Structure 1
Amino acid sequence: MKVLVIGNGGREHAICWKLAQSKKVTHVFAAPGSDGISNEKVKSVSIPADHHAELMTFAKEEKIDLTIVGPEAPLVDGIVDSFNCEGLTTFGPSKAAAALEGSKTFAKEMMKKYQIPTASYEVFDNVEAAKAYVKQQGAPIVVKADGLAAGKGVVVAETEAEALNAIDQMMEEKAFGEAGSSLVIEECLRGEELSLMAFVHENTVIPMVPVQDHKRAYERDQGPNTGGMGAYSPVPHLENGWVEQAEREILRPMAEAMVKEKVPFTGILYAGLMITESGPKVIEFNARFGDPETQVVLPRMKSDLIDVIESTLNNVEMNVEWKQEACVGVVLASEGYPASYEKGVAVHIPKINDDIQTWFHAGLQEQEGHWVTNGGRVLLLSSLGKTIEEALSSTYHVLEKQQWDGLFYRRDIGHHVTSRR
């Protein structure tokens, strides 16, 4: 079969990499893809992810059997609806269902209505009312842009001043455009974060293995929120019953709730969780594979990704096989990320052990036979190991062997595990 993957980041590279291993797949196309994603099994097609009509034309001309949408923006813009109207099989949510990620207000209202555990909150479209609420509630408090902001529209404010500044930046200065016209302001949950993704079609839910992401830019979880600086799976200190509880109280109820609301969900349902003293609570829902979570979850998957997707679409909850090994991924990012950063910085990619390690490309392009930066998050090195520590050692052994001019990475990915041991 022929598969089209829409997107060009590290997440899409991981999806293409996994699809290329399937005996059922003859061709994998990535649109727009990238120089790093392309190889003898994956072909990049220079059609931007927001050019829906061109993508549909390509899918029909190439007789694409399945399209997988990687990033959130095309989903929220309704690309799945367009493809489905043309009779093209697509794995992703409709525009209405993608509102779980596209509107934090919609997601919170769904959780409130169906009693899915989450932080208490209020919604504001007025600056002064938002500030008055912050002054009334005090800090710490969380300020979120309602719409899409590439994973950066969340401020965990430890002080009242920080929260008020975040409101100004989002609503007055339009730091995230129209995404910040409305804000969700919620209580600050305490605990550890855990990401749990699942393949979903209507009431069918097939959970993946849990993963922990590191969202802050710098060591010791300092600095601004990013799209993610690294991740690891499994998460041994948080898997003692929490995962089953989250599946039972969060993933399945939300899938069922979407069916009841006549906006059934198809695709990857991502629950960003906080494991609190009273159990898992939802920080956010996403409507697609996480990044960088995908780059450590898919290397652990023994089952054929196509088999899992086909089973999901056929409402069969198959038993997915997973490797016992741990997987760790560390992101190399451009200096200055997630704020402004320079592009065109030369990057040398060292050799790795291909049996257990993979470079996933995110913001690189090839120029005259050399790699140069073209984005905020540039590369992710994923490594398998018998334990988290072994996978970490393998990853950092490669990263620490050379100097990364113009780039930076966190040296404490997985510290929640290593500090306990």
Structure 2
Amino acid sequence: MSETVLVIGGGGREHAITRALAPDAEVYALASNRNPGIGSLAAGTEITDETDTAAVVAYAERIDADAAVIGPESALAAGVADALNDAGVFTFGPTAEAARIETDKAYQREFMAEHEIPGTPEFETFDEAEAAAAYVEDVEGDVAVKPTGLTGGKGVRVTGDQVSHAEAAEYVRGSGHDEWVIEERLVGEEFTVQAFVNDGEMRLTPAVQDHKRAYEGDEGPNTGGMGSYSDAGATLPFMTPQEYYSAASVLEATVDALPEYTGVLYGQFMLTDEGPKVVEFNARFGDPEAMNVLPVMETPLLDIVTAAREGESLPEPAFENRATVCKYAVPAGYPTDPDAGSEIEVDESTVAAAADAHGGDALLFYASVDDREDGLFTTTSRSFAVVGVADDIPTAESIAADALAAAGEGLRVREDVGTEELVESRIDHMASIRD
């Protein structure tokens, strides 16, 4: 008898989750938007707010779900996992309390300090904007300025990189947020390691490098992520195996301090001259990082979910020894003034042709689009992603670049993600930092 799994969320991450579950389970979806990629795989779709706990539980009961997987952090913060578990639906996603490791940045840093988690940067917390702004103005050295709550990856300002101290203080005063974390600026190369977690047990996935800045050459404001890449194997070209396992030890220490955590724990690290330091934790798959690791995971995702539900040891996931490059197409004006509500067209045949041309695979993941009867329309967030999969990063990048021809007018892409030039610059940067 097939398992029935509810996937909550309607973005590219959730499309990747649905794709990973669909061969082995009957998947249903619940999201605030109608994602055509998810719709083509799911047995049914409910359009409602992912944070409406009563509506989520009602739909899970209606489809007689055996398990649920939560994609977006907003649903975790709203306590959707708590409500589903209380209703008897096992949920692969942490409770609202456990998800504070992401949803409350002040709690996150204080938790790390209390449990002596390796890689914790120096930090100060504030519950008044004026006090935080004054600290930013007076502090020696550069700092990262973070509102404590969820900001969709767009709330951080870094002095000495994006803004001056005076500009950062002005940002704090005018943001409308009261609670802040101000921490040392970390210099190096960012990367992500995601882990499957259940009751103190952890299973790792390959490292991924995301690209938050909006424009080529790491220019412009932060976004939810313009693209990402992974190499053939667990590490990235600019890191050593030991540095990967140092990051893994940070995740292990965190899991040890969260004995009842269930779901995905995402560690975003800065590889510094002192080794990996923690930029932040997320309590779910990354978007776009899920689109890098799930397509090359040979172990069925359902096996991990059901093992967690049954209280069994999590299987050690196996991954193809292949590289991936993910590139996003976003609405014009994203992220500061996105052109929402514009009709777009996506030529799926172009994606398939890109794979054929380079001898690899090309995948299309729809994200924050609205599939209506009269067409496909943009929202205020990212529209769709293409992922090239091949034996090496350059070939995977060529596939993704060609597949992006599927993006019609009104969409913008960051072309340099995964290119040889950009990857080589990361290697050179880390070499200079290590010297």
Q: Contact 1:205 / 1:255 at 8 angstroms: preserved in 2?
A: yes
Percent identity of paired positions between Structure 1 and Structure 2: 35
Q: Provide the residue aligned with 2:423 in structure 1.
A: 417
SS in 2 for 1:194: strand
Distance 2:304 2:22 in 1: 15
Is the alpha carbon distance of 1:326 and 1:125 closer, same or farther for their aligned partners in structure 2, counting shifts above 3 Å?
same
Contact 2:196 2:203 (C-alpha < 8 Å) held by counterparts:
yes
Q: CA RMSD in A?
A: 2.1
Task: Give the deviation of 1:165 after TM superposition.
Answer: 3.1
Give the aligned residue type for 1:405.
E
Q: Counterpart in 1 of 2:183?
A: 186
Pick which of 351-360 and 301-310 moved more: 351-360
**Among residues 264, 267, 273, which one is paired with 1:271 in the alignment?**
267
Distance in 2 separating the partners of 1:129 and 1:53: 39
How far did 1:124 drift? 1.4
Q: 2:192·2:268 contact (CA, 8 Å) conserved in 1? A: yes
Are residues 182 and 390 of structure 1, via their aligned partners in 2, closer, same or farther at CA, if it must alter by over 3 Å? same
1:32 offset after TM fit, Å?
4.0
When residues 342 and 247 of structure 1 are mapped into structure 2, their CA distance, relative to the original with a 3 A threshold, is same
Query: Tell me, what secondary structure is at the counterpart of 2:137?
Result: helix
Closer, same or farther in 2 for the Cα pair 1:86/1:92, shift >3 Å? same
Q: 8 Å contact 2:70–2:76 — kept in the other structure?
A: yes
Matches within 5 A, 1:206-245: 206-234=203-231, 235-245=236-246
- Cα shift at 1:358: 1.4
CA contact (8 A) 2:266 2:282 kept: yes
- Paired with 2:89 and 2:197, the residues of 1 have a C-alpha distance of 18
C-alpha distance in structure 2 between counterparts of 1:153 and 1:408, whole Å: 22
Supply the distance in 2 between the matched residues of 1:78 and 1:41 (Cα, whole angstroms). Answer: 24
Per-residue deviation at 1:153? 1.1
Q: 1:161 & 1:373 partners in 2: Cα distance?
A: 30
Cα 1:307–1:40 change in 2 (3 A) is: closer
Query: Structure 1's 246 and 342: CA in aligned 2 closer, same or farther, altered over 3 A?
Result: same
Query: Which of 269, 285, 290 is the matching residue for 1:289?
Result: 285
User: Deviation digits for residues 310-329 of structure 1, max 9, x if unmatched?
Assistant: 23442414221101111110
Q: Deviations over 1:308-354 (max 9, x none)?
A: 22234424142211011111100111122111221232322122227
The one-letter code sitting in structure 2 at the alignment partner of 1:121 is: F
Shift of 1:30: 3.5
How many aligned positions are there?
408
**8 Å Cα contact 2:157/2:163 also seen in 1:** no
Q: Is the 8 Å Cα contact of residues 134 and 169 (structure 2) preserved in structure 1?
A: no
| Segment drifting more, 152-161 vs 62-71 | 152-161
Separation (CA, whole Å) in 2 of partners of 1:242 and 1:159: 25
Partner of 1:7: 9
- 8 A Cα contact 1:152 1:225, kept in partner: yes
1:219 partner letter: E
Provide the C-alpha distance between the structure 1 equivalents of 2:414 and 2:95, rounded to a whole number of angstroms. Answer: 36
Instruction: State the match for 1:140 in structure 2.
Output: 142
Matches of residues 140-179 of structure 1 in structure 2 within 5 Å? 140-158=142-160, 162-174=164-176
Displacement after TM superposition at 1:217 (Å) = 0.6
Give the TM-score normalised by the residue count of structure 1. Answer: 0.91
Alpha carbons 2:33, 2:369 under 8 Å: kept: no
**Kindly tell me: are residues 402 and 383 of structure 1, through their superposed partners in 2, closer, same or farther at Cα, counting changes over 3 Å?**
closer
> 1:159, CA displacement in angstroms?
6.9
Q: Which residue of 1 aligns with 2:258?
A: 258
Choose from 317, 326, 342 the match for 2:323: 326
1:370 aligns with 2:375: yes
Report how far residue 379 of structure 1 moved.
0.8
Structure 1: gaps (5+ residues):
175-179
The one-letter amino acid paired with 2:34 is: S
What's the CA shift for 1:164?
A: 3.6
Q: In the aligned structure 1, how far is the partner of 2:315 from the partner of 2:136? A: 46
SS in 2 for 1:310: helix
> Pairwise mapping of residues 319-358 of structure 1 onto structure 2 (< 5 A)?
319-350=316-347, 351=349, 352-353=351-352, 356-358=361-363
Q: For the residues of structure 2 that align with 1:141 and 1:88, how far apart are their CA atoms?
A: 43
Contact 1:68–1:92 (CA<8 Å) still a contact in 2? yes
Deviations 1:143-201 (A, max 9, x none): 00101111111111227963443343344342xxxxx2201011101110010110111
Q: Distance in 1 between matches of 2:163 and 2:93?
A: 40
Alignment partners' CA distance in 2, 1:403 and 1:84? 40
Distance in 1, Cα, partners of 2:39 & 2:398? 28
Matches within 5 A, 1:101-116: 101-116=102-117
Cα distance change on mapping 1:367 and 1:216 into 2, 3 Å? same
Task: Report if the CA contact (8 A) 1:273-1:284 is conserved.
Answer: yes
Alpha-carbon contact 1:31-1:49 (below 8 Å) kept: yes
Contact 2:32 2:48 in 1 (8 A): yes
Question: What is the alpha-carbon distance in structure 2 between the residues aligned to residue 398 and residue 70 of structure 1?
Answer: 25
CA distance in 2, matches of 1:396, 1:144: 33
Over 3 Å counting, the alpha-carbon distance change for 1:367 and 1:32 in structure 2 is: closer
C-alpha displacement of 1:239: 4.3
Aligned residue in 1 for 2:18: 16
Do the aligned partners of residues 378 and 318 (structure 1) sit closer, same or farther apart at CA in structure 2, a change above 3 Å counting? same
Aligned residue number for residue 96 of structure 2: 95
CA pair 337-201 structure 1, distance change in 2 beyond 3 A = same
- 2:132 pairs, out of 127, 130, 134, with 130
Higher mean C-alpha deviation, range 40-49 or range 372-381: 40-49
User: Is 1:359–1:380's contact at 8 Å kept on the other side of the alignment?
Assistant: yes
- CA shift for structure 1 position 402: 6.7
Residue identity matched to 2:274: S
- Judge conservation of contact 1:2–1:63 (CA < 8 Å) in 2: yes
SS class of match (1:232): strand
How far apart are the structure 1 equivalents of 2:375 and 2:328? Answer: 20
